Amino acid sequence: MREWLLADTPESSFQAWAGRAYLGLGAFMKNRLAVLGLLIIVALIVIAVFAPVIAPYDPVETRIGNRLAPLSSTHYLGTDEMGRDIFSRIVWGSRLTLYVIGLVAIIAAPVGLLVGTVAGYFGGIVDMVLMRITDIILAFPKLILALAFVSALGPGIENAIIAIAITSWPPYARISRAETLTIRHSDFIKAVRLQGAGGLRIITGHIMPLCLSSLIVRVTLDMAGIILTSAGLGFLGLGAQPPCPEWGAMTAGGRAYIIDYWWLITMPGTAIFIVSLAFNLLGDGLREVLDPRGGN
Amino acid sequence: MAGNTPLLTVNDLSVVFPSPKGDVCAVNNLGFSMGREKIGIVGESGSGKSVTGRAVLGLLPPYARVTASDITFKGRNLLTCSEKQMRQIRGRQISMVMQDPKYSLNPVRTVGNQISEAYTIHHKAGKKQARQKTLDMLKAVRIRNPAQVYGLYPHEVSGGMGQRIMIAMMLIPEPSLLIADEPTSALDVTVQLQVLAILDDLVQERGMGLIFISHDLALVSSFCDRVIIMYGGQIMEVVDAVNLHKSNHPYTKGLLGCLPKIDGNPDHLPTLVRDEAWLKPPPKCFGRGTAL
Amino acid sequence: MISIENLNIFFGHGQTRSHAVKDVGFTVEKGESFGLVGESGSGKSTVLNCIAGLLTHWSGHMEIDGVRLTQTRDMAFYRKVQMVFQDPYGSLHPRHTIDRTLKEPVKIHRLGDANQRVAQVLEEVGLGAKFRFRFPHQLSGGQRQRVAVARALILDPEVILLDEPTSALDVSIQAEVLNLLQDIRKEKNLTYLLVSHDLAVVCHMCNRLLVMNRGKSVETLTRSQLKRGAISEKYTKQLLIASKGYDRTAIDQFQDFE
């Protein structure tokens, strides 16, 4: 298997790619912290998928008689002010977290990539218009702009996602444009132009793959920020609405009890912290593997 | 040829670069000795010629394993010198000119400023004296208006001028040995020859030794006194430049043969057939290096 | 095959506008190999890029195979004219396998049976099937340049523009690539336009050449004129002396030409 992957003379495109991926994986595995980050994220995904099996209680069922119970063997992480099991709420909350970061990444990254590569490749007036729009959005503080969008669209998790996505694509556009500008005049782009390739083919087939690695790194590093923004919106009451078990909203709910019942705010806060950290570690590891400037 | 006491003697020099795929031996058991002369080191990319030059100066990255039984410069053993002593020798005694001046000059300081600094580091001199010395040196590398060039920034000068400035900067501490690593490869032919003529004159006037590292066999043979031919980290042969065309070594003959010539015939060029048997004694380590 | 008249190329606007190529003209017959020689800044590569359609700020008359060229080129042009670039490390897409790089032109022109074409062209440039699924970083400089030649050949062009195709290679590899280029030209009756700073390479490859200096044509020579030294311009004479190696006394007589 190893020999097949590392063959000097691959016999198919698939083998060539597999060999390349294998070498990348090997380099990635050497970075212990990045592997730890990846494991945490895999764990998050597993928890989200199997939430109904893992969570011992219904996350929204209230039992006033059992409110503010401390950590115990029946309620691992205690209960909140409504008597809901915090462990179950965090487990179910992982679904919301993944939902938010997944959708934001799917919306914002391609938009940024497209805007940046098109602006960089065509230049001139196209570049002017696209980059000035990008600048305008970049000029607003991210959370404030998201707040404005959510206030206009109405509170709710979907609107929060849209708001975060709208505010997070401009940095991706800037990165992709900068990459495109360095690639645009290289000989291999000239060569494919000389074969008669049009702008669309050059951008999607030749420029985008080269922008992708730095974009993936940036998106991964931004995941932490997205989690924090969505938690922030939840905290302000503009994201997920109660009784939704959203981590940010949970920390907001626990605010009033912070002195006497510390676990209400600490547990979801810790979850946010661990997942953000995991994404940062993963991002740094990916940068070493993917980013060509990190040395080969 | 090498004079009475050699300026530089190198014996059993080996350089190994560790890599994930096993150690790469860039230079293998290399030895030569030179006096105050122009000696050329010629080879293709990966032959270890640049690594040799850097190894003598102790300029290789720390992970490179450099071993030698002897590197003696003017009777001093460079192998036992501390980093501090090496710093004294580099620049003051041995200088190096690299291929591209644009990367070797600080872009935010004027060229005059940088040259006079090179002088004051190694000589106790006032600002005025250093400036005068710099202007003289710029004149020596045949820059027509030294006072004007003194105040220019590196991006404001052409490639040929930049390389002259580099040479001025390297020669102002009056070293006894200059190592020039492909100093003119990025320049046009005529400019290249003019820069070499300056080097040639300075070597003659000051009695310096010059190690000229290049891939261009024809140029080296017409410029240097002796030529070292390298292949795969080893010396194939050392010949007097005038006798190069009479060389019997198949590698030298191959290199000379595959050059297109204006008075040659326009049919097929002979190609070089490599023979691993040239690499003897059998190398201690495997693989061949690439130029740094 | 190629006919250029009064070609003028400008770079930049306003104050920084520079006249890179001044009234250059030459013709190349079908099946001929023609050289453009000059030092840096002579405009030789600019002329080549202009013919290829990579530059649009030009004026003058350019014809290929009797068809007048305009600022924009059509698909038929790209099938007829292809180019090989100087830097073998920069002219192949770093994330594409050789297979993908060679299939791209076949797809663009919808020629069909891509697999067969790729295999055949790799054979023609002496690489063979085992290099087909490698990435560029797994090839040496000479092998990459062979791939670049293969990419130019796969569309069966009639004209190949060569921009310093061997100046980044070792001399022994240069000899192999030059031999390959000559064999292919004879076999397919191609027309070459070769740009180089190296008089010896041009003399070896081309039967006629144009010497350029600072955007202007200096003179057109045939190979035999160059060999005999039947040169009328001082600039060309100086270039010829310089190409013969280091000669201390000759260098003192070098001058700058405007």
Tell me which chain A residue has its CA closest to the CA of residue C73. Answer: A196
The distance of A248 to chain C (nearest Cα, Å) reads: 41
The distance of C253 to chain A (nearest Cα, Å) reads: 38
Residues in chain C closer than 8 A to B259 (CB atoms)? 171, 175, 200
**Segment C209-231, tens digit of pLDDT:** 999 998 999 999 999 999 888 88
Q: Do C170 and B215 touch (CB under 8 A)?
A: yes
- Amino acid C119: pLDDT: 93
CB C243 within 8 A of CB C198: yes
Of A188, A194, A206, the CB nearest to C90: A188
Q: Do A209 and C95 touch (CB under 8 A)?
A: yes
The distance of C136 to chain B (nearest Cα, Å) reads: 17
Separation between Cα atoms, residue C129 and residue C134, nearest integer Å: 10
- Amino acid A36: pLDDT: 94
CB A79 within 8 A of CB A85: yes
Of C73, C100, C138, the CB nearest to A8: C138
Domain boundaries, chain A: 24-55+76-294
The distance of C3 to chain B (nearest Cα, Å) reads: 25
Positive/negative CA dihedral, A42, A44, A50, A56? positive
Separation between Cα atoms, residue B266 and residue B257, nearest integer Å: 13
Residues in chain B closer than 8 A to C203 (CB atoms)? 260, 262, 266
- C2-247 folds as Rossmann fold (3.40.50)
Query: Does residue C215 sit in helix, strand or coil?
Result: coil
Residues in chain B closer than 8 A to C212 (CB atoms)? none
CB A86 within 8 A of CB A79: yes
Separation between Cα atoms, residue C200 and residue C215, nearest integer Å: 21
Q: Which residues pair with B27 in a beta bridge?
A: B15
CB C144 within 8 A of CB C136: yes
Q: What is the rounded end-to-end Cα distance, in angstroms, of chain C?
A: 31
pLDDT of B286 higher than 70: no
Q: What average pLDDT does the structure give for chain B?
A: 84
Give pLDDT < 70 ranges for chain A.
291-296
CB C136 within 8 A of CB C92: yes
Residues in chain B closer than 8 A to C254 (CB atoms)? 190, 193-194
Most B CBs within 10 A among C246, C249, C256, hence the mutation to make, goes to C246
Chain C CB within 8 Å of residue B173 CB: no
pLDDT grade, residue B131 (50/70/90)?
very high
Q: Do C179 and B219 touch (CB under 8 A)?
A: no
Of C39, C176, C201, the CB nearest to B260: C201
pLDDT grade, residue B281 (50/70/90)?
low
SS3 content of chain B, % helix, strand, coil (to 5): 40, 20, 40
- Amino acid B2: pLDDT: 43
- Amino acid A225: pLDDT: 85
Residue range of the domain that includes B142:
101-174
In the DSSP assignment, the letter for residue B244 is: G
Q: ipTM value, please give it.
A: 0.89
> What are the CA-CA distances from residue A113 to residues A118, A173, A175, A219, A279 (Å)?
8, 6, 8, 11, 21
**Segment C92-118, tens digit of pLDDT:** 998 899 999 999 999 999 988 899 999
Residue B269 within a domain: no
Of the candidates B184, B256, B192, B257, the one whose C-alpha atom is nearest the C-alpha of residue B221 is B256
Contacts of B9 (CB under 8 A, 6+ apart): B32, B33, B34, B70, B71, B72
- Cβ-count burial of C115 within 10 angstroms (0-12 exposed, 13-18 middle, 19+ buried)? exposed
Separation between Cα atoms, residue B35 and residue B38, nearest integer Å: 9
pLDDT of B61 higher than 80: yes
Lookup result for tokens 């793959």? A209
Chain B CB within 8 Å of residue C205 CB: yes
Of A187, A196, A201, the CB nearest to C91: A187
Cα C239 to chain centroid distance, Å, stands at 20
Residues in chain C closer than 8 A to A197 (CB atoms)? 104, 108
Q: Do C239 and B189 touch (CB under 8 A)?
A: yes
* Tokens found for residue B208: 């310096």
DSSP string, chain A: -HHHHT-SS-SSHHHHHHHHHHHHHHHHHT-HHHHHHHHHHHHHHHHHHTHHHH-SS-TT---GGGTT--S-SSSTT-B-TTS-BHHHHHHHHHHHHHHHHHHHHHHHHHHHHHHHHHHHHH-HHHHHHHHHHHHHHHTS-HHHHHHHHHHHH-SSHHHHHHHHHHHHHHHHHHHHHHHHHHHHTSHHHHHHHHTT--HHHIIIIIIHHHHHHHHHHHHHHHHHHHHHHHHHHHHTTSSSPTTS--HHHHHHHHGGGTTT-THHHHHHHHHHHHHHHHHHHHHHHHHHHH-GGG--
CATH code for the structural domain at A24-55+76-294: 1.10.3720.10
Separation between Cα atoms, residue C178 and residue A232, nearest integer Å: 66
Separation between Cα atoms, residue A214 and residue A175, nearest integer Å: 8
- Amino acid C99: pLDDT: 93
* Tokens found for residue A230: 């969505």
Query: Does residue C152 sit in helix, strand or coil?
Result: helix
Q: Do C108 and A206 touch (CB under 8 A)?
A: no
CB B252 within 8 A of CB B237: yes
**Mean pLDDT, to the nearest integer, of B86-108?**
83
Positive/negative CA dihedral, B184, B190, B191, B197? positive
pLDDT of B13 higher than 60: yes
Of A13, A186, A205, the CB nearest to C99: A13
pLDDT by residue, tens only, chain C of 258 residues:
899 999 999 887 777 788 889 999 999 999 999 999 998 888 899 999 999 999 888 999 999 999 999 888 899 999 999 999 988 888 999 889 999 999 999 999 998 889 999 999 999 999 888 889 988 888 888 999 999 999 999 999 999 999 999 988 888 899 999 999 999 999 999 999 999 999 999 999 999 999 999 899 999 999 999 988 888 899 999 999 888 888 888 888 888 777
